[in-house]
Amino acid sequence: MPTALITGASRGLGAAIAAALEPSHTLLLAGRPSPELDEVAARHGATTWPMELTDPDGIAATTEVLTELDVLVHCAGVAYPGRVAESTVEEWRATLAVNTLGPVALTLAVLPALRAARGQVVFINSGAGRNPSPGLASYAASKFALRAFADSLRVDEPELRVTTVYPGRIDTDMQYNLVAYEGGEYRPERFLRPATVAAAVADVVATPADAVVHEVVIRPR
């Protein structure tokens, strides 16, 4: 079976994407070692791939054994809610390190393996990567940069299929924390289910080889 490397798979959307791709792919679940990541891997017969996205040298060292990679899904991300005046430089650095520089470093590290397989790269972006929301200054900036990197990769590596997925609000821990910051009541039914977005990702990956899906925008009803 083809191989898919997924970041941020220990919970939420990343775990749902692992479940959606399990029937068709051998899974490599990248992330910081944790019981949650081990549990997801055991559930889907996957291999855990220890990785710290803020350590480019470590990323290069742990991925150099990959000679071919069919699918790379960038799902890991962080958010520090705060309007511009409330934000700090440290929060901006931390957000960009995980949300933007991490995917850049990982993509560059596995680029030869992706080229060898004429593979696919899927970037999980956000509605904030198209239209900034109040209270998400550094997060929106990191997602706009991620969008530009995905578009540049598509142009510079035409043998690869590159897709950006822009989901609306998803029922995840990150969403719970954002609603708490906003002072609202958390109602899961207002948000997309992780499995719904994961199904859209699986559809992108299953696109016939003569086509590429550039963007997917998915919102709660």
31 vs 122 pLDDT, higher one:
122
| pLDDT in the model for residue 142 | 96
Phi and psi based region of residue 33 (left: phi greater than 0; alpha: psi -120 to 50; beta: remaining): beta
Distance CA 54, CA 70 (A): 24
Domains of the chain in sequence order: 3-218 (3.40.50.720)
Query: Helix count (H) and strand count (E) of the chain?
Result: 8, 7
| pLDDT in the model for residue 16 | 96
Mean pLDDT of 149-155: 98
Q: What is the mean pLDDT of the chain?
A: 93
Q: Which two tokens stand for residue 140?
A: 């929106």
CB-CB contact of 30 with 74 (8 Å)? no
205: Cβ–Cβ under 8 A, 6 or more apart, which residues? Answer: 4, 21, 24, 25, 71, 120, 122
pLDDT tens-digit series, residues 25-52: 999 999 889 999 999 999 999 999 999 9
Q: At 175, which amino acid appears?
A: Q
178: Cβ–Cβ under 8 A, 6 or more apart, which residues? Answer: 79, 81, 135, 136, 169
| pLDDT in the model for residue 33 | 92
pLDDT tens-digit series, residues 77-97: 998 988 899 899 999 999 999
Question: Chain-centre distance of CA 92, in angstroms?
Answer: 18
Catalytic, 139? Answer yes
Q: Which two tokens stand for residue 78?
A: 């962080």
Least confident range from 60-64, 71-75, 149-153: namely 60-64
Q: Which residue in the list 139, 166, 181, 186 is annotated as catalytic?
A: 139
